[in-house]
Amino acid sequence: MVSLIKDRPSDPIKYLIDKMTQPERKRFVLLLPPGLKQNQEDTMNVALMLHNHLKEDLGIADIKYISVSDLLLREINKRSEYGKQIFESRKTYSYIKDEIVIDLVQSHIEECERKGKGWILEGFPRTRMQAVAL
pLDDT in tens, 116-128: 888 989 888 888 8
Q: Which domain holds residue 64?
A: 32-70+97-133
3 state SS of 58: coil
Report the number of distinct structural domains present in the chain.
Answer: 1
Residue 58 domain-assigned (yes or no): yes
Mean pLDDT over residues 70-85, rounded?
95
Report if residue 83 sits inside a domain: no
Give domain status of residue 50, yes or no: yes
Q: Is residue 87 part of a domain?
A: no
Residue in 66, 68, 72 with CA at minimum distance from that of residue 91: 72
Within a domain: 47: yes
pLDDT of residue 97: 94
* pTM over cut 0.75: no
Task: Identify whether 9 is part of a domain.
Answer: no
Residue 7 lies in a domain: no
d(CA 125, CA 107): 15
In a domain, 116, yes or no: yes
